[in-house]
Amino acid sequence: MDKFLIKGPCKVKGTVNISGSKNASLPILAATILFDEPVEIKNLPNVKDIDTMLALIKSLGFGVKINKKKNSVLIKKTKNINTFASYSLVKTMRAGILVLGPLVSKFKKAKTSLPGGCLIGARPINYHLNALKKLGMNYRIEKGYVHAFVKSKLNGSCITFPKISVGATENAILAATLANGKTTLKNCAIEPEIKKDLTNFLNKAGARIRWIGKRTVEINGVKKLKKISYSVMGDRIECGTFCVAAAISQGNLKIKGFDPKLINTELNLLKKVGAKIKIDQNLISIIGPKKIKNIKFIKTKEYDGFPTDLQAQFMTLLCKATGKSIISESIFENRFMHVAELRRLGAKIIIKKNNAIIFGGTNFQGAELMSSDLRASVALVLATIVANGKSVINRIYHLDRGYEKIEKKLRSIGVNIKRLS
């Protein structure tokens, strides 16, 4: 099992290019199930979750031609389609459930394993199932699988999500694209990966989707989608992570390939801690402060609030601040698993229910560490970059699920990091 050896402290300096968005690519790849004609997806990140999704689509009988050099894939429907999404492929990745809506919408049936992914909370799929049921899907759950079917075709409906859910919003949009009539989805997730990229991709292929309010989307079903070549947006969380790397290390970094307007909330918080930031089209220039200021209170929220996927990274940053900060986690109930490992490096953090109280002024000292989930893993990388001495981070397969060539990118901007097999 691979691990990282990092020798600190390091100061990041130079230019880094942001890879394609994992969280935008996954639903777009699931959407290719809806097509009769070939689909080319470009700017795919070369990460484990994408490999798993492509393997899943291939297992459903689609032709999948991957070009790793160009970070692209060509997906074609074949005559040998099956509608079984196995546990062996879906168990490692939450997004596997996104094939359910397209399979039922296009092929009228599906047998899909209940999903896996990071151990950061319960994350049941009842919102997905209830939305698809309102569109006409019948289902039962048996031995860890959702057995779903529809008699003739899904029909448009008005659906209000009881709670904002990224995955359920995506699944319902995908299912409604080919349904009969009009579907209105209310209280939707509006992450750029959905509102900017997934709906843009589908509309360019001939879907009729429009946002008619901040969290309301209207979908008029179409009979089929047309051939398309599409380039995925840059990765919002990778961009935010590199911004934190510059801020925590008194770095001087140029970050290319991402629209800064999509992370306004995060950039404003980094300005609060003292970072100097200049933005241009698809370019962020960030200089880290000599003294990191504390932030009294941050709460994770659905977009366009502060993202839960950057909570661990910002917690690491605030360990170095002058004074006390509080981060409140309102999205997932089990997302402070990195705290014990940060304490091993010398952090002073107290957990009270869903609040982390961070006492700043930590002088991180190198240690051996264990990754628990994707974003927690990268928080440990950030801490060890500025720690004194050697650190070893075990179980970095979590990182490989969501960050493309992270050690190569970090090495190119001055981090002393090695992958050990």
Mind telling me the catalytic residues?
118
DSSP class of 79? S
Cis upstream peptide for 289 (omega within 30°)? no
Provide the token pair at 101: 């809506």
Which residues have C-beta within 8 Å of that of residue 309, sequence separation ≥ 6? 237, 240, 375
- Separation CA 183–CA 105 (nearest Å): 13
DSSP class of 130? H
Burial pattern 174-213, b for ≥16 Cβ within 10 A else e, equals bbbbbbeeebbbebbbbbbbbbbbbbbbbeebebebeeee
Place of tokens 């960030």: 286
DSSP string, 168-191: HHHHHHHHHHTSBSEEEEES----
Place of tokens 């209280």: 187
25 sits in which H/E element: helix 22-31
- Separation CA 215–CA 195 (nearest Å): 10
On whether the CB atoms of residues 153 and 180 are closer than 8 A, the answer is yes
On whether the CB atoms of residues 315 and 358 are closer than 8 A, the answer is yes
Which residues have C-beta within 8 Å of that of residue 124, sequence separation ≥ 6? none
DSSP string, 217-239: EEEE--S----EEEEPPB-HHHH
- Give the residue from 114, 111, 178, 107 showing the smallest Cα distance to 148: 111
